[in-house]
Amino acid sequence: MAGARLLDEAEVRRATTRIAHEILERNKGAEGVVLVGIAARGDDLARRLASEIARIEGATPPVGVLDITFYRDDIGMRAEAPEVHETRVDFDINGKTVVLVDDVLFTGRTIRAALDALVDFGRPTAIQLAVLVDRGHRELPIRADFVGKNLPTRRDEQVRVAVKELDGEDAVYVEEPRGAAGGGSER
């Protein structure tokens, strides 16, 4: 099911380009900046931000992928253990500015878990958060530093981000609530 498309490919591209500029502006360049995307889809967006930054600045920041499954606060509350993805942060984050990248910011629980996971890899100087969509309804005191698009939503709606790498297109959809468990793109 498709639902209403809120961002198309061109809009996703413009949002990514703008976020890349904002990251560079905030950090006065790409020096000491590393990107860590949250699987799945956050890592694809992180790679795009990295290539945008490379295009603008000439230097490509390292990109890691973080799976936050083992840090979730709802393990044991679902019927089945949540599916795990790959984690690969093969560079040192000590003393770096880590930009966490995710597709949708919703309750903030994913980001809480990601912060816990990140500190197990080292002690970054700062952690910033970039998201393609902020849909509100936070349950924790967490906010994004870089936002592609603010989307007011109803709590029971589903926001689904599609990326070329996994879904064959770049787009953001809002869908009516589904009976079964969600598509996994948001929490």
Partner 1 sequence: MNKHLLSIHDVTAEDVVRILDTAESFREVGTRVIKKVPALRGRTVVNLFYESSTRTRISFELAAKRLSADVINFSTSGSSVAKGESLKDTALTLQAMGADAIVIRHASSGAPLTLTKWVRGSVLNAGDGTHEHPTQALLDLYTMRERLGRLEGLRVAIVGDVLHSRVARSLSFALVKMGAEVTLVGPPTLIPPDAPAWGVQVSYDVGAVLPKLDVCYMLRVQRERQRQQYFPSVREYARLFGLTRERVGMLPEGSLIMHPGPMNRGVEIDSDVADLPQSVIEDQVTNGIAIRMALLYLLLGGSGAEAGEAA
DSSP 71: G
Residues 44, 101: Cα–Cα separation, whole Å: 9
- According to the binding rule CB under 8 A, does residue 166 interact with partner 1? no
Exactly one of 2, 28, 76, 152 binds partner 1 (CB under 8 A); that residue is: 76
The number of C-alpha atoms within 13 Å of 15 and in the hemisphere containing its C-beta is 23
- Taking the complex as a whole, the smallest distance from the CB of residue 63 to partner 1 amounts, in Å, to 16
End-to-end Cα separation, the chain, in angstroms: 20
Q: Which of 102, 103, 104 is nearest to 115 (CA)?
A: 102
Exactly one of 2, 79, 141, 168 binds partner 1 (CB under 8 A); that residue is: 79
| Cα three-residue angle 48-186-129, rounded to 5 degrees | 50
Exactly one of 14, 55, 78, 164 binds partner 1 (CB under 8 A); that residue is: 78
Residues 1-40, mask of contacts with partner 1 (x by CB under 8 A): ----------------------------------------
Exactly one of 62, 122, 157, 183 binds partner 1 (CB under 8 A); that residue is: 122
DSSP 126: E
Q: Where on the chain is the footprint of partner 1 (CB under 8 A)? A: 67, 69-72, 75-82, 84-88, 116-117, 120-122, 180-181
